[in-house]
Amino acid sequence: MPDSARTETPAASPALRWPSDGLSKIPDWVYTSPEIYEREVERIFHGRTWNFVALEAEIPEPGCFKRSFVGATPVIVARDLKGAVHVFENRCAHRGAELCRPALGKATELVCPYHQWTYDLAGNLTAVPFRRGIKNEGGMPREFRLEDHGLLKLNVTTRHGVVFASFARDMESFEDYIGPDVLKDFDVVFPGRPLKILGYYRNTVPANWKMYHENLKDPYHATLLHAFLVCFGLMVAGNRSAMIVDASGRHGTLASARPKEGPKVDADSKAQMRAFSDALKLEDRRFLEFVREFDSEWSVTMQTIWPNLIVQRELNTLGVRQIVPRGPNEYLMNWIMFGYEGDSDEMTRHRLRQGNLMGPSGFLGIEDNEAMRFVQQGMLKSESDGSVIMLGGAEEGTSYKMITEAGIRSLYRHYREVMGL
Amino acid sequence: MPDSARTETPAASPALRWPSDGLSKIPDWVYTSPEIYEREVERIFHGRTWNFVALEAEIPEPGCFKRSFVGATPVIVARDLKGAVHVFENRCAHRGAELCRPALGKATELVCPYHQWTYDLAGNLTAVPFRRGIKNEGGMPREFRLEDHGLLKLNVTTRHGVVFASFARDMESFEDYIGPDVLKDFDVVFPGRPLKILGYYRNTVPANWKMYHENLKDPYHATLLHAFLVCFGLMVAGNRSAMIVDASGRHGTLASARPKEGPKVDADSKAQMRAFSDALKLEDRRFLEFVREFDSEWSVTMQTIWPNLIVQRELNTLGVRQIVPRGPNEYLMNWIMFGYEGDSDEMTRHRLRQGNLMGPSGFLGIEDNEAMRFVQQGMLKSESDGSVIMLGGAEEGTSYKMITEAGIRSLYRHYREVMGL
Amino acid sequence: MPDSARTETPAASPALRWPSDGLSKIPDWVYTSPEIYEREVERIFHGRTWNFVALEAEIPEPGCFKRSFVGATPVIVARDLKGAVHVFENRCAHRGAELCRPALGKATELVCPYHQWTYDLAGNLTAVPFRRGIKNEGGMPREFRLEDHGLLKLNVTTRHGVVFASFARDMESFEDYIGPDVLKDFDVVFPGRPLKILGYYRNTVPANWKMYHENLKDPYHATLLHAFLVCFGLMVAGNRSAMIVDASGRHGTLASARPKEGPKVDADSKAQMRAFSDALKLEDRRFLEFVREFDSEWSVTMQTIWPNLIVQRELNTLGVRQIVPRGPNEYLMNWIMFGYEGDSDEMTRHRLRQGNLMGPSGFLGIEDNEAMRFVQQGMLKSESDGSVIMLGGAEEGTSYKMITEAGIRSLYRHYREVMGL
Amino acid sequence: MSAPAADLRSLRLEIEEFNAEYAAVLDAGRVADWPAFFSEDAVYRITGRENWDAKLPVGLVYCEGIGMLRDRALAIAKTTMFAPRYLLHQISNTRVLSVDPASVVSAEANYALFETLVDERTTLQQVGRYHDRFIREDGRLRLKERHCVYDSLIIDTALIYPV
Amino acid sequence: MSAPAADLRSLRLEIEEFNAEYAAVLDAGRVADWPAFFSEDAVYRITGRENWDAKLPVGLVYCEGIGMLRDRALAIAKTTMFAPRYLLHQISNTRVLSVDPASVVSAEANYALFETLVDERTTLQQVGRYHDRFIREDGRLRLKERHCVYDSLIIDTALIYPV
Amino acid sequence: MSAPAADLRSLRLEIEEFNAEYAAVLDAGRVADWPAFFSEDAVYRITGRENWDAKLPVGLVYCEGIGMLRDRALAIAKTTMFAPRYLLHQISNTRVLSVDPASVVSAEANYALFETLVDERTTLQQVGRYHDRFIREDGRLRLKERHCVYDSLIIDTALIYPV
Ligand code: FES
Ligand code: FES
Ligand code: FES
Ligand SMILES: [Fe+3]
Ligand SMILES: [Fe+3]
Ligand SMILES: [Fe+3]
């Protein structure tokens, strides 16, 4: 349902003018305006981006398919009978029905329930029932060609078992798209080893979808919001860490390294962190163990792959998160938690136990989701306006400081360019 | 709440331009645009149409009244003390309160709860409490005339016990409005015999209200979507059938005849219908019986009386359905199931048993509602656009083929004219 | 989130033209238009008005704070460590988080949960964690001054324990704002005696917020809608009563006096009131007792303090109600019921028992809320338009008649001026 | 109500157990096992409270005899097209109203039925009351009549499974 | 808790039955029959959890003595204007907290109250907890105190009937 | 199911009482008292029905052993930042599935969890089913396993407290 029905978005409507303070101030309408959201769909989710749609391990065999999303647009990810992966819109070419309903499935073809137009696993229309009518009465006119009425196909790429799609036809390769600095840590999680799916979480957050990217480009919040990390020594402000940003500014890796000997918190940092307390102790220490299974200097990497993917490696708990925007004020998050084929039972259970950190009931996940909710609520009805993004001064790009908002500024440099703001 | 507050809808806003493919393609905005919906209220529901509001059997006695709707506008249908039926807005002339709350009732007058302004059963204001104040202090000014402040009255007509209303003052007769071809089958269901109300169903569907008309102008879907019909021999693609369309294109009768000897499915049709299976059998055959009580060649007629009425005669189960639009993306459906006065107990129970076919839990009703939901969902977030209406080529008007979309094209020829699209 | 993101509201958009009948007709869009609502936020709630935010008794001690609203905008009302009361936006100056979550609390400072920016109880930013970074890396630039990044502070005033706030800097005094006629009865309820909070009610009404003011400037409805008052002799149309209006027209006191000897209903009034019945009797007469504790000729005063406060003195049950608009079609009502410090246990229980009259389960409260809901529903989908405000002719200002809408006309004279309509 | 109090309590508990099993079968989507809770001549009906109160006989679902129950189970399981969903019943407020001389037990219980569609939030499909008549066959309770009378007059799209 | 376990269970089951009858009366709109569940000197109150937790005494409904209960029943039935609606209670999680030497039984139960207005969807009017004190009169339980403490602090428009 | 019917009923009633206490502790926000309902080696998991049906092991919450239960209780009570809220459980449809030779009781019950945030309406946080294994310690039931399997796959923002 595009073009004509939507408000045309000329280069920059006068009401949406970026404040003169450049990247140190983000106006609220970036997060709340329906007009901005429409433009994001057009220029970002349906534009020149690679959007995460599936892990290959979710559709392991020929005929497997999955309902997914590019932006908010429903798509089907299917493996055809020869093993190739296709992505196409979940919208029948006849009357527009969202034809595929189950979250996951297996079939030799896809049949629309309304009039049973039938598509192969690449999205091609293969049959229209009674196409020639009954006893040669009715049916499709001769000039109707099946080839003209397939499902809208997206451009597809995969990297080590991770499937991405794009409405843009002439995309650069995924590797060029994310750049070498971010690709490096992506490949640590996805070295090409077969994955073992451990399960799904799903949650909404009543906040703008970009807030989630910003949260993971914001090393500042980690030791302030997340008392758990601090109290139980998982991360402290003094840990070695980095906010790695690709050349375009849109992708990032928030990384930190746990010192072998455990955390040391200097007195100055303790004073800054309200959360710090020496009194709390975990009973079950297995939770904090880090099995050093990765070829990486980092014990934690949280990657933001623009526009809709988070790759989580938090000690030994691994997952991807797909962001599905639902207008400016809400997004849906689909989590896929996984390990590797060949993990021992104990290793799988270790990953599951450590999973308590993340997700909508995770010790960290709860706090991030609540904080983002508070921010959106704060913006929706206030008289004052704008976010202050001044930590680290005007610095942009990769930074090894914790107390900086450089990654957020980098993202908005890119965003303003693409959005024409 | 009309005119000034609503966006003025000039002849055709540039964004809503009909595609050049004429009637073979319907753009999505017809089903999703709030602007189009506003125009439909103005030009269709509040325009030159007869809208179903009640069966006379629901308000059998003087003083009986019913809450109803014309489009989404609440109205009251009342039988006055002399027996005449009136329709007027359910909105107090004083402060605008929706004064009548129960679905059905009986009274000698209608009293607004807020300040007890009182109306007769024709909608005339008959009393304003303390109109002359207390001890001649306060009250209404002398120039206030009760006659100027009645409820807004609609034009009313009835046909054999079915009540219609119109905001238009100068409507043609109902008979002229629906035309002889559609009237004929209407009169089969409503020959003037007194009706016996069997009860109500109500349901919403998250789809555009026009979709329901199209569903019943679409003989193509019946044997494809409704496996039940096929498996249990109620209808097969080879049955004699018709899609009758009135001269204007807006009304229709989808009719089919069950052969006396039961269904025969030829091998070719079997091959086209995925649903076909010889293995399934009903235990209780009473369900499929057809008591030939009607003077008609058809065993099933589903009539679409523009803009808000469906008349259902499905074997021996009878009902009307009122469509109440709720914006572009949802409609409410009010079903009234009935038989005839004088039906034997067994005949009533036969109608009730056969009622399992229809309604929001009916074997067919479930499927139609689900299919329409899928279509609206498919349209709301996709990048591709438009429905393909090419079955039966460019044919329009009444057709005796099953595999045609002629009825849908006829409707949209009329619609575009009225809507100025 | 102001200015740029919102539709600019020029003096009067052509679609919103007031009808030529002056104050005798109010068009529906006053109650239903989102554009009007936006303008109300700007010109009324965020404009030159004093908005009720708290009773001092709710925040009795230094460090006590309360979440509250000015219009729909969340604010914090806090008592600083020296005892002064401050009101400021509940929106962190950093990223905009609604930082204060509990309804009531006590603290020495307010800490935003996201990054722990810390504010004193006057809304000043007092600390930014890691402001100088870690080991001098990162942190805020030198030019960042805490003084420039406090919470947005509102103008505050109190009158005998009632706290008001304004976004306007140059407000007249509260006493000048409400004027002597309305202040007089305000001071009867709030003579400076310490209050004892008895508890809270909260409810929404699906109606425009102004309807609540009108309901309490409408003496006409009291004996018509509220059969309870009439049947049990609490009020009758013949009681001495007044609708007192301040000079500006926006504030009011609806007052009535119970005769010492109990109610007398003359025959004429009985005839006008459908509700009247001699047959009903209360079993527990304590409910109707009036302990004459106030220095006032009135036994009941309901005050409407523009734009968001109702002060209720209904016999011995006392309360304030804060109106929080939620768009044009809904408002939230926060009730605080109270007595006075020093009330005997029996007096407190008397107030509680009499509280059954008011609130969302009160014998009167139920009816007012239902009536307002009916009005909004009546306006939202009808074809006809407008309210008729002709009782009492063109009279405006204070009136001692019951059968008049003078108070509503006065309000709309003021409203049209402020709103530029 | 002729039965002694202890028997009524025991019946109430037995009906609670019956209803818990009944709901478990439906919540698991095992619709083919659903007719087994009914007697041969059972009547099963789902209808709105407006019909019930006005004594209007219509049923959203209206089955006379176990054959029709089985036919519905078959149709839902084998021929009907609908989107996948989860259902969950909460049954409470069980009351035994009477035991007649032929040992037919009249009882009622309130139900809330929650529905969850793929990618959507859980909604309240309907709330209502079972109006039941039980008989005992081979020592086990069986429904001779179940009228599911729902307050939620406006069905959202479709009510697919029995209640 | 002085009573033996078997007695407590029996009390719990009896309270469940009491509450089922109580709710059935209200759900049928038979508000005139509602005071009969209370003792002469009963206290009945509906209040938000914020008031309960802060020991603030206010009640949305606040009745002292059966006279006030009857007055409320009368007012709702005969004088109060409100739109027609259906109500349905789900009561569960019944707990007997204690039986004091005077045989006053303290108990709690959770309730969910569903409301359906004409032409509208069923909504959750409120969820809450009954905080009860029962006495026995003529062998039957009667409420000496019922505090309906609701979590749903924001009432939608109006709460008409007792809970 | 080896146990006689009377024992199964008694078990069912005992589990209802257990669950009512369990929910009362959580609804009161007394999360520190929650681990006491479990045995030393208990497994506690909250997971979506999609995972349960596909035998995917992940848990939104996944605790092995009472130490992890206590750690979660501690973290929620002492370190986790979230907005204040009220919670209320409705537990019904309790079923005893079996008692194995070692006296481990398998049981299920349906739950609805209602959540109310400050200034917001009550929402249905989730509906689901407890899949339980109970053992008896010192005469009292304790959970050896509780899998809270929710239908409401899409969590609204966060699920803070145990279910
Ligand atoms: S809508 Fe898909 S086949 Fe017709
Ligand atoms: S609104 Fe109807 S009488 Fe006043
Ligand atoms: S948003 Fe408040 S401290 Fe960052
Ligand atoms: Fe975080
Ligand atoms: Fe159909
Ligand atoms: Fe009033």
Predicted local distance difference test score (pLDDT) of residue A121: 98
Q: Which of B9, B13, B10, B22 is nearest to B386 (CA)?
A: B22
> Are C353 and E68 inside 8 Å of each other by CB?
yes
> Are A387 and C115 inside 8 Å of each other by CB?
no
Q: State how far the Cα of C254 lies from the Cα of C400, in Å rounded to an integer.
A: 10
> Are F157 and A280 inside 8 Å of each other by CB?
no
Measured in Å, residue C60 CA sits from the centre of ligand 5 at 67
Predicted local distance difference test score (pLDDT) of residue C229: 87
D87 neighbourhood in chain F, CB within 8 Å: 151
> Are D118 and A101 inside 8 Å of each other by CB?
yes
Predicted local distance difference test score (pLDDT) of residue A300: 95
| Paired residues of C241 in beta bridges | C256
Measured in Å, residue C101 CA sits from the centre of ligand 3 at 14
Q: State how far the Cα of C47 lies from the Cα of A221, in Å rounded to an integer.
A: 36
Q: State how far the Cα of B192 lies from the Cα of B199, in Å rounded to an integer.
A: 20
Ligand whose nearest atom lies closest to the CA of C113:
3
Q: State how far the Cα of B363 lies from the Cα of B235, in Å rounded to an integer.
A: 13
Measured in Å, residue C421 CA sits from the centre of ligand 6 at 28
B311, containing H or E segment: strand B309-314
**Which residues of chain A register pLDDT less than 50?**
2-11
Q: What tokens appear for B186 in the block?
A: 């209407």
Best substitution site from B94, B98, B125, B131 to test ligand 2's pocket, by max atoms within 8 Å of Cβ? B94
Q: Is residue D39 part of a domain?
A: yes
Q: Is residue F163 part of a domain?
A: no
* Residue-by-residue DSSP string for C204-219: EESS-THHHHHHTT-H
Ligand whose nearest atom lies closest to the CA of B97:
2
Q: How many CB pairs under 8 A join B and D?
A: 123
The alpha carbon of residue F156 is apart from the nearest alpha carbon of chain D, in Å, by 9
> Are E20 and D127 inside 8 Å of each other by CB?
no
Q: Is residue F162 part of a domain?
A: no
Residue nearest to atom 1 of ligand 1 (CA): A95
Predicted local distance difference test score (pLDDT) of residue C12: 52
Shortest-distance atom of ligand 2 to CA B92: 2
pLDDT tens across B180-230, in order? 999 999 999 999 999 999 999 999 999 999 999 999 999 999 889 998 888
F21, containing H or E segment: helix F5-27
Q: What tokens appear for A38 in the block?
A: 């429409």
Ligand whose nearest atom lies closest to the CA of A227:
4
Contact C353, E142 (CB under 8 A): no
> Looking at residues E60-71, what average pLDDT do you find?
97
Contacts of A413 (CB under 8 A, 6+ apart): A23, A249, A396
Shortest-distance atom of ligand 2 to CA B99: 2
Predicted local distance difference test score (pLDDT) of residue A6: 41
Q: Which of A319, A328, A315, A418 is nearest to A12 (CA)?
A: A418
> Looking at residues B279-303, what average pLDDT do you find?
92
Predicted local distance difference test score (pLDDT) of residue C6: 40
- Beta strand pairing status for C104-106 and C64-70? antiparallel
- Amino acid identity of residue C295, one-letter, is D
> Are B369 and D61 inside 8 Å of each other by CB?
no
Residues with CB under 6 A from ligand 3: C 92, 94-95, 97, 99, 112, 114-115, 117
Would you say the CB of residue B95 lies under 6 angstroms from ligand 2?
A: yes
Q: Is residue D163 part of a domain?
A: no
Sheet with C300-305: list strands edge to edge. C240-245, C252-257, C300-305, C309-314, C317-325, C331-340, C195-205, E154-156
pLDDT tens across F109-135, in order? 999 999 999 999 999 999 999 999 999
Say which of D13, D17, D90 has its CB closest to residue F110.
Answer: D90
Q: Cα dist. A278→A233, B34, F71 in Å?
A: 10, 59, 15
> Are D84 and A113 inside 8 Å of each other by CB?
no
DSSP E strand boundaries for B233-275:
240-245, 252-257
3-state secondary structure of B409: helix
To 10 degrees, the CA torsion angle through A392, A394, A400, A405? 60
Measured in Å, residue C281 CA sits from the centre of ligand 6 at 21
From the number of C-beta atoms within 10 Å of its C-beta (0-12, 13-18, 19+), residue C300 rates as buried
pLDDT tens across F92-111, in order? 999 999 999 999 999 999 99
Whether chain A lies against chain E with 3 or more Cβ pairs closer than 8 A is: no
Q: Is residue D71 part of a domain?
A: yes
Tell me whether D19 touches chain E (CB under 8 Å). no
Measured in Å, residue C152 CA sits from the centre of ligand 3 at 15
A338, containing H or E segment: strand A331-340
Residue nearest to atom 3 of ligand 1 (CA): A115
Residue nearest to atom 4 of ligand 1 (CA): A115
Per DSSP, C234 falls in state S
- Amino acid identity of residue E17, one-letter, is E
- Which chains have 3+ CB pairs within 8 A of C? A, B, E, F
Q: State how far the Cα of C397 lies from the Cα of C249, in Å rounded to an integer.
A: 7
pLDDT above 90: percentage of residues in chain B: 83
Residue nearest to atom 1 of ligand 3 (CA): C95
Residues with CB under 6 A from ligand 1: A 92, 94-95, 97, 99, 112, 114-115, 117
The alpha carbon of residue A25 is apart from the nearest alpha carbon of chain C, in Å, by 10
In the predicted model, is pLDDT for residue E1 greater than 60? no
Tell me whether D9 touches chain E (CB under 8 Å). yes
Predicted local distance difference test score (pLDDT) of residue C267: 67
Task: Please name the residue of chain A whose CA is at the shortest distance from the CA of residue D85.
Answer: A102
Confidence of residue B5 (pLDDT cuts 50, 70, 90): very low
Q: How many helices (H) and strands (E) does chain E have?
A: 3, 7
D154, containing H or E segment: strand D154-156
Q: Is residue F135 part of a domain?
A: yes
Measured in Å, residue F136 CA sits from the centre of ligand 3 at 49
Q: State how far the Cα of A95 lies from the Cα of A112, in Å rounded to an integer.
A: 10
> Are C375 and B89 inside 8 Å of each other by CB?
no
Q: State how far the Cα of A59 lies from the Cα of A64, in Å rounded to an integer.
A: 5
Output the domain CATH number for residue D33: 3.10.450.50
Q: State how far the Cα of A71 lies from the Cα of A49, in Å rounded to an integer.
A: 10
H-state helical runs in E84-137:
none
Q: Is residue E159 part of a domain?
A: no
Q: Provide the residue range defining the domain that includes F11.
A: 5-150
The 10 Å CB-count burial string (b at 16+, else e) for F143-160 is bbbbbbbbbbbbbbbbbb
Q: Cα dist. C388→A4, B92, B96, C21 in Å?
A: 42, 10, 9, 10
Residue nearest to atom 4 of ligand 2 (CA): B115
pLDDT tens across D144-156, in order? 999 999 999 999 9
What sign does the dihedral A66-A71-A74-A75 (CA atoms) show?
A: negative
Q: Cα dist. B87→B77, B174, C154, E72 in Å?
A: 5, 16, 53, 37
In the predicted model, is pLDDT for residue B2 greater than 50? no
ipTM of the complex: 0.96
Measured in Å, residue B367 CA sits from the centre of ligand 5 at 7
Tell me whether F13 touches chain E (CB under 8 Å). yes
Which residue's entry shows tokens 């978005």? A9
Contact B357, B365 (CB under 8 A): yes
F76, containing H or E segment: none
| Paired residues of C197 in beta bridges | C338
- Which chains have 3+ CB pairs within 8 A of A? B, C, D, F
Predicted local distance difference test score (pLDDT) of residue C269: 65
Q: At residue B413, what are phi and psi to the nearest 5 degrees? A: -65, -45
Q: State how far the Cα of C396 lies from the Cα of C415, in Å rounded to an integer.
A: 14
Predicted local distance difference test score (pLDDT) of residue D72: 97
Using left for φ > 0, alpha for ψ between -120 and 50, and beta otherwise, residue A63 falls in: left
Tell me whether B3 touches chain C (CB under 8 Å). yes
The alpha carbon of residue F95 is apart from the nearest alpha carbon of chain D, in Å, by 7
Measured in Å, residue B330 CA sits from the centre of ligand 1 at 20
- Amino acid identity of residue A201, one-letter, is Y
**How many other C-beta atoms can be found within 10 angstroms of the C-beta atom of residue F52?**
19
F118 neighbourhood in chain E, CB within 8 Å: 153
pLDDT tens across B251-270, in order? 999 999 987 766 666 666 66
> Are F110 and D23 inside 8 Å of each other by CB?
yes
Ligand whose nearest atom lies closest to the CA of A302:
4
Enter the pTM of the model: 0.96
Length of chain E counted residue by residue: 163
Predicted local distance difference test score (pLDDT) of residue B20: 86
**Which residues of chain C register pLDDT less than 70?**
1-14, 236-237, 261-270, 273-278
pLDDT tens across B354-398, in order? 999 999 999 999 999 999 999 999 999 999 999 999 999 999 999
Predicted local distance difference test score (pLDDT) of residue D6: 80
Tell me whether D85 touches chain F (CB under 8 Å). no
Measured in Å, residue F139 CA sits from the centre of ligand 6 at 60
- Beta strand pairing status for F154-156 and A195-205? parallel
- Of the candidate ranges A224-238, B29-43, B119-133, the one whose mean pLDDT is the lowest: A224-238
Contact C114, A221 (CB under 8 A): yes
Predicted local distance difference test score (pLDDT) of residue B250: 98
Question: Cα–Cα–Cα angle for C328, C332, C337, nearest 5°?
Answer: 150
Would you say the CB of residue B347 lies under 6 angstroms from ligand 2?
A: no
F68 neighbourhood in chain A, CB within 8 Å: 283-284, 287, 353, 356
Say which of C72, C116, C137 has its CB closest to residue A401.
Answer: C137
- Beta strand pairing status for F38-48 and F140-150? parallel
| Summary mean pLDDT of chain D | 96
Q: State how far the Cα of C121 lies from the Cα of C118, in Å rounded to an integer.
A: 10
3-state secondary structure of D151: coil
| Summary mean pLDDT of chain B | 93
> Looking at residues D45-72, what average pLDDT do you find?
98
Contact F124, F152 (CB under 8 A): yes
Task: Please name the residue of chain B whose CA is at the shortest distance from the CA of residue A38.
Answer: B381
- Which chains have 3+ CB pairs within 8 A of D? A, B, E, F
Select the residue from A23, A31, A236, A382 to test the C interface by mutation, using most C Cβ atoms within 10 A: A382
Structural domain total, chain F: 1
Contact B316, B324 (CB under 8 A): no
Contact C365, C356 (CB under 8 A): no
Q: What tokens appear for B319 in the block?
A: 């009902």
Q: State how far the Cα of A361 lies from the Cα of F47, in Å rounded to an integer.
A: 11
Q: Is residue D161 part of a domain?
A: no
pLDDT tens across A25-62, in order? 999 999 999 999 999 999 999 999 999 999 999 999 99
